[in-house]
Amino acid sequence: MTLLQVDDMSKAFGANQVIEGLSFGVSPGAIHSIIGPNGAGKTTLFNLITGIYRADRGRVLFDGRDVTALQPHELAKCGISRTFQNLQVFLNMSALENVMAGMHLHSDHRFWPSLFHLPMITRRDRELAEEARRLMAFVNLEDYLDAHASAMPYGALKRLEIARALATKSKLMLLDEPAAGLNPSETRAIDGLIQKIAESGVTVILVEHDMRLVMGVSDHILVLEGGRKLAEGTAGEIRHNPDVVAAYLGESARKQ
Amino acid sequence: MSFWNSSRSGGLVALALVIALLPLTFPNTYFFNVAILIGLNAIVCIGLNLLIGYAGQISLGHAGFFGLGAYVAAILSSNHGVPPLAALLLAALLVGVLAFAVARPIMRLKGHYLAMGTLGLGIIIAIVLNQEVGLTGGPDGMPVDSFSLLGWQPYGDRIWYWIVGVLLLATVWLALNLIDSPVGRALRALHGSEVAAAAAGINVVRFKVLVFVTSAILASLAGSIFAFYTGFITPGEANFFHSLELVAMVVLGGLASIYGALIGAAILTILPQLLTVFHDYEMMMLGLIMMLVMIFMRKGLVPTLANLLWRRGS
**The predicted structure's pLDDT at residue A46:** 94
Q: How far is CA B230 from CA B33, B160, B233, in A?
A: 9, 10, 7
Q: Do A105 and B200 touch (CB under 8 A)?
A: yes
pLDDT of the residue at A250: 56
Collapsed DSSP state (helix, strand, coil) of residue A201? coil
Taking chain A (256 residues) in runs of 10, the rounded mean pLDDT of each run is 92 92 92 90 93 94 93 96 95 96 94 92 93 96 95 95 97 94 91 94 93 91 91 90 75 50
CA of residue A77 relative to chain centroid, distance: 15
Query: Cβ-count burial of A32 within 10 angstroms (0-12 exposed, 13-18 middle, 19+ buried)?
Result: buried
Q: Which helix (H) or strand (E) holds A34?
A: strand A31-35
Architecture of the domain made up of A1-79+170-256: 3-Layer(aba) Sandwich (3.40)
pLDDT tens-place string over residues B181-212:
999 999 999 999 999 999 999 999 999 999 99
Contacts of A93 in chain B (CB under 8 A): 185, 188-189, 192
Quote the ipTM score. 0.91
Which of A70, A104, A160 is best to mutate for the B interface (most B CBs within 10 A)? A104
Cβ-Cβ contacts under 8 Å, B203 against chain A: 71, 73
Q: Mutate one of B7, B174, B183, B188 to test the A interface: name it (highest A CB count within 10 A).
A: B183
Query: What confidence tens digit (pLDDT) does each residue in B264-287 have?
Result: 999 999 988 887 776 777 778 888
Domain map (residue ranges) of chain A: 1-79+170-256, 92-168
| Interface contact flag, B177 A76, Cβ < 8 Å | no
pLDDT of B314: 54
d(CA B150, CA B167): 19
**Partner-chain contact A73 B188, CB within 8 Å:** no
Residue B308 or A236, more confident: A236
Q: Residue B111 has what pLDDT?
A: 73
Cβ contact A254:A47 at 8 Å: no
pLDDT of residue A201: 94
Instruction: Using the predicted structure, report yes or no on whether residue B213 has a pLDDT greater than 90.
Output: yes
Contact list, B178 vs chain A (CB under 8 Å): 114-115
Contact B178 A107 (CB under 8 A): no
Closest CA to A225 of A37, A30, A58: A37
Report domain extents, chain B.
2-313
Q: Which amino acid is at A43?
A: T
Best residue of B52, B181, B190, B210 to probe chain A, by most A CBs closer than 10 Å: B181
Neighbours of B191 (CB within 10 A): 23
CATH of the domain spanning B2-313: 1.10.3470
User: Cβ–Cβ of A93/B192 closer than 8 Å?
Assistant: yes
Residues 6+ apart with CB under 8 A from A43: A85, A176, A207
Q: Which amino acid is at A178?
A: P
- B120 — pLDDT class (breaks 50, 70, 90): very high
Alpha helix (H) ranges present in A64-153?
72-78, 95-102, 111-115, 119-138
In this predicted model, which residue has the larger pLDDT, A56 or B104?
Answer: A56
Q: Which residue of A has its CA nearest to B56?
A: A92
pLDDT of B242-268, one tens digit each?
A: 999 999 999 999 988 999 999 999 999
Nearest CA to A106 out of A84, A130, A82 is that of: A130
Let me know how long chain B is: 314
Give me the total of CB pairs closer than 8 Å, taking one residue from chain A and one from chain B: 114
Give the closest residue to B117 by CA, choosing from B173, B190, B42, B64.
Answer: B64
Mean pLDDT of all residues belonging to chain B:
89
